[in-house]
A and B are shown apart, each in its own frame.
Chain A
Amino acid sequence: MDYIIQGFKEAINLLISLDREVLLIVSLSIIVSTSATILASLISIPLGVYFGIKKFKGKRLFSRITYTLMSIPSVIVGLVVAIILSRRGPLGYLDLLYTKKAMIIAQTLLVIPLVFGLTFGLTKSRGDVIEKVAFTLGANKWDTIILIIRELKIDILVNIATAFSRAISEVGAVMIVGGNIKGYTRVITTTISMMNSMGDYPMAIALGIILLLISFVIHSIIYSYSQED
């Protein structure tokens, strides 16, 4: 029991003193996951809206496949990206494996289905009426997609926050493609995982607290924003 209490004490110290290593790890986590979330959103939100309002054969099967992909394990994404980016892989010449870029690529691929699926589901249930109005006012497909995104922006923001939470809290993909290299590709989750296997708890606890705080802050902002609306 003692080591747990001790761990918390040291964790608080690390947080209060703004330990340089902790700051580096946290900022890298935020940079990587934010970039991935933005990239995935730019791709997935318009596509999700497009397919959400589109009527086509097999839409139900399409939904089911989409919802399955939403929960794709991060290690699988990591594995696939690592195979493609490794020196012997098809994109090996880019020298990307074990870099921040590789981590961003992996997390982007991880949350693309998530953002797509959430947007798709949202639009499927609530985009219909907006699409009708847009159509009767003369909007084309692209106008309609933009309009639906704007009309559903609060829900879409919540979806983006969900995607960010998934990205920043996953460990499988970034561990595999990043390699947890100190100062380069070491992020919150890979550090926690490593610290645990080293039996070094204070840093792990400190980072765990920060991870929870980040989630809390983001969801608080979104919540207050949605209340305002």
Chain B
Amino acid sequence: MKRISLLLLALLLIITTVACSPKTETPQNQDVVQEETNDPVPPEEPKGSIILSTTTSTQDSGLLDFLLPIFTEETGIEVKTIAVGTGKALQMGRDGEADVLLVHAKADELKFVEEGHGTERLDVMYNDFILVGPEKDPLKLKNDHPNNILEGLKLIANNGVTFVSRGDDSGTHKKELSIWKAANIEPAGDWYLEAGAGMGDVLKISSEKQGYTITDRATYLSMRDTLDLDIIIEGDENLFNQYGVIPVNPDKNTNINGEGAIEFMNWITSKRGQDLIKDFGVEEYGQPLFIPNAE
């Protein structure tokens, strides 16, 4: 038994070594050469890689999985994505641990650039937030206030109906808090659950607890089939959400790939990038998840 497994192991090793060793033999006939040139190779040599620090919403919605391979193919730049809350993403920028940011907290972003952590900031796209809740909609918000988020939140708070908050200092969380503020409510109490988790998790919690939640449309649509939640309130301008791209100041440390970051910014705000954003999600959900608005 032992001998057989050893043999198998040895065989495996040989196979992998052979398969991994660079081809040094000269091709013996034309066919082989032909085949090799047909392999999909990047048009140019890879220009290294960039670290993109972004929010969980762009990752969870699948936008990045759609955009980045195309970006890499067209520019030869590999992108390593770190999807975190906007707070952490900005912190990574300040610490010089990322090359470029794609986030959505405009006030913080402008401050970030003002303080010299980023070189500039461009609008990329916006998405909108929605209030989702149980199909039964105990407060009849969908019926009474389909486009009035402030009124909806007031009713939720006054009736003490379960509301699940991100509670993680993310861009979405900040957005939610700003809407509560606009409604003049200090959300607190048994009904207000602070999940401290990503959007996907919060939607699942909300679905399990049959509570209300403010979410970005993209994440909701991508998970709709697994949730017992409906769109309750939408279209209120308090619910719009602007994304910006910021290359991190390359003077922070020598590891920052400033050129790559600028190339990413230019690409995502170009007509090509903007068109791709507009196409994303249409096939699956019948509507774009992000609306491009770069100037």
Contact = CB atoms under 8 A, between A and B. Distances in A.
Interface string B166-202: 0111100000000000000000000001111100010
Q: Contact size class for B?
A: 20 to 34
Given A198-B168, A198-B170, A200-B87, 11 more contacts: A87-B207, A88-B226, A98-B209, A179-B195, A181-B195, A182-B195, A186-B196, A194-B197, A197-B168, A198-B169, A199-B88
Contacts of A194: 168, 196-197
Contact of A179 (B91, B169, B197): B197
Contacts of B195: 179-182
Chain A interface size, as a band, is 20 to 34
Nearest to B210: A87
Interface in A192-217: 194, 196-200
A199 B205 contact: no
Nearest to B84: A197
B194 A182 contact: yes
Interface in A7-50: none
Given A86-B208, A87-B208, A98-B209, A200 B193 contact: no
A74 interface: no
Interface of A: 86-88, 95, 97-98, 175, 179-184, 186, 190-191, 194, 196-200
A184 B167 CA distance: 13
Contact of A98 (B85, B92, B196, B208): B208
A179 B88 contact: no
Nearest to B90: A199
Nearest to B194: A182
Interface of B: 84-85, 87-88, 90-92, 164, 167-170, 193-197, 201, 204-205, 207-209, 226, 228
Nearest to A179: B205
A198 B209 contact: no
B208 A184 contact: no
25 contacts: A88-B226, A175-B197, A179-B197, A179-B201, A179-B204, A179-B205, A180-B196, A180-B197, A181-B194, A181-B205, A182-B167, A183-B194, A184-B193, A190-B196, A191-B196, A194-B197, A197-B84, A197-B85, A197-B88, A197-B168, A198-B85, A198-B88, A198-B169, A199-B87, A199-B169
